[in-house]
Structure 1
């Protein structure tokens, strides 16, 4: 493909626009919870498995540890997580949910419902689209599992 293709027919522009639209849907919902989307992702990773290290959270979210660390610090300042050095390796920082962080899981339940409703897709459509986007991400990242 070359640059002469109109923007509306370019995959990169479609993905960018979809990402921006998704952010606009999430923002007011997350503002009510007092967190940002990246902070929500960190919390979500901890709702899956509490007590992860910064490195494990970064790996789960496909981010650098240096990106996750300030997010965790802000979540700790908000009283949603705690941070502590791992006893077996003090270079690692364990992140655990507080009661408030666990409670936010229930408070954020409406996020998925709202986004689902806004897509206009049924469950099968959401699952198929998600699988395709994940496969694209893996392929672009050079992941062998693509």
Structure 2
């Protein structure tokens, strides 16, 4: 080899073969935190839709953080907006504030469900206890 020809570098430098993913896609390890959080919201919505079929028209969303509002002392965990002319009613759950307040997956799932129940209750004009009788008991 002369100095004019560049050396070809190989990714398989140590003879172990090409590296693949750490875990196959069907294993929960490969799900991102955002995907896991979205699944918690969807599970909560499915539980409520069994008793409240009108929620099929509501759009449920997950956002990372709430929009900043100056002078607001408390960071909201969720929000809701009623339906307008061409827009469906929306419920938003803010992922980062919920994750910060929950210590583990079980607490996170419980908090997500409580936020969804509170926002649905606000949309329907009901108390959270009437939307989900188990609200606040866990």
Q: Same fold (TM over 0.5)?
A: no
Give the alignment's TM-score, normalised by structure 2. 0.29
Q: Which has the larger radius of gyration?
A: 2
